[in-house]
Amino acid sequence: MFNKRSLYALMAIVFVAAMVLAACGPKATPTPTPVETTAPQVTPPPVTGASVGVILPTKNEPRWIQDETRFNDAFKAAGVEVQILFSDGDSAKEKANVESLISQGVKVIIICPHDATAAAAAAQEARDAGVKIVSYDRLIRDTEAVDYYVTFDSISVGEAQAQYLVDKATGTDNPLYLYAGAATDNNAFLFFEGAWNVLQPKIADGTFVIKNSSEAVALQDKATLTREEMSQIIGQVTTDWKFDVAKNLAEANLTAAPAADKGDVFILAPNDGTSRAIADVFAADADVTSYVVSGQDAEEPSVQYIIDGKQSMTVLKDVRTLVSDAIAAAVAFLEGGTPPETTTYNNGVIDVPAKPSVVVTVDQSNWQEALIDSGYYDIKEFTVP
């Protein structure tokens, strides 16, 4: 099935996948950054012509630049050529990227869709061309043409964000401001579902009072929401994953809110970029005495915000794990096998085999241990008082 050159490449990828996986195991002891430290014994010949392509959604967020870096590290260490393309937040460009990779003869495309449903047509094109599709971080929806899904446990991301707010709240009637990701991203629903699981009982018992969403207030007695119900809320509090949308929405919310709805506030912000934007707005409001705000991704600017006390927490999703899972899945497909499935995610049409990874809550109390001692970041990137 393979020529010799491809087999060298594969062996190298398997090796790197194993290295990366080994380095991303439980963090009982600090793990050194993996790939560079243990080079393969036999260097495979350089491979021209990539058999795997990666497509990421945007360069506008540090999160996806980090994925690019980690992919490049892993593939470079293997001496394997990979094409990493960006879709610039545009489904048409994403489809053109898929078509370009197909025409170059790749066998597996690892893709993080910009828009879950719009990506279905491109995925189908890949399937028709005999190319395997690995949905990366975000699930492609409403198509059968998805072979595998590597992801973090996104419901537990939302639960971790909400739990942090709950743990910091005392008494009753605490003002709660809700924000969500883009409605075109399936993850935005999973994050919100997880957050609702934890927040709803605390809204029902009076700990929190929702201040910025009439749709959420209308549904606040329901422990479990349908996708349609979540859509209604997300439609009202979406940031569209954009900093400026998040900032404008937070400003509009605070302009509309009387001083009595401010004071010590609690903010569910869906990720780090929107968290920084929203936190800046709340910090600038004279009627906000204090705020607790969530995030996710452990982006470097947000780690600095946490060190500086401007963002309360983030959820670390170790991108090295996701990259190694994606590479392992690609290798399994290239070898004619199937990657390990620990669960499935329904994408509206099929149950997609998947392997979700665990996430870690990070705040001022553990950022050094979780992010520096683990080798995820270099302390030199941060200004520590």
List interacting residues with ligand BGC (CB under 6 A): 61, 63, 137-138, 181, 185, 187, 241, 271, 296-297
Judged by beta carbon, residue 53 or residue 270, the one nearer ligand BGC is: 270
Judged by beta carbon, residue 271 or residue 347, the one nearer ligand BGC is: 271
**Min dist. Cβ of residue 152 to ligand BGC (A):** 7
Judged by beta carbon, residue 87 or residue 296, the one nearer ligand BGC is: 296
**Min dist. Cβ of residue 194 to ligand BGC (A):** 12
CB atoms within 10 A of CB 46: 11
Terminal Cα distance for the chain, rounded = 57
Judged by beta carbon, residue 212 or residue 357, the one nearer ligand BGC is: 357
Which residue is closest to ligand BGC by CB? 271
**Min dist. Cβ of residue 87 to ligand BGC (A):** 12
Judged by beta carbon, residue 219 or residue 325, the one nearer ligand BGC is: 325
Q: How far apart are CA 98 and CA 55, in angstroms?
A: 8
Q: Which residues pair with 136 in a beta bridge?
A: 150
Helices 186-204 and 154-168: crossing angle in degrees, nearest 10, is 30
Taking 3-state DSSP, the helix, strand and coil percentages for the chain, each rounded to the nearest 5, stand at: 45, 15, 40
**CA–CA distances in Å: residue 240 to residues 83, 88, 89, 226, 246:** 27, 14, 11, 20, 8
**Min dist. Cβ of residue 281 to ligand BGC (A):** 19
Nearest to 279 by CA among 250, 237, 308, 257: 250
Say if residues 344 and 354 touch (Cβ distance below 8 Å).
yes
**Min dist. Cβ of residue 240 to ligand BGC (A):** 10
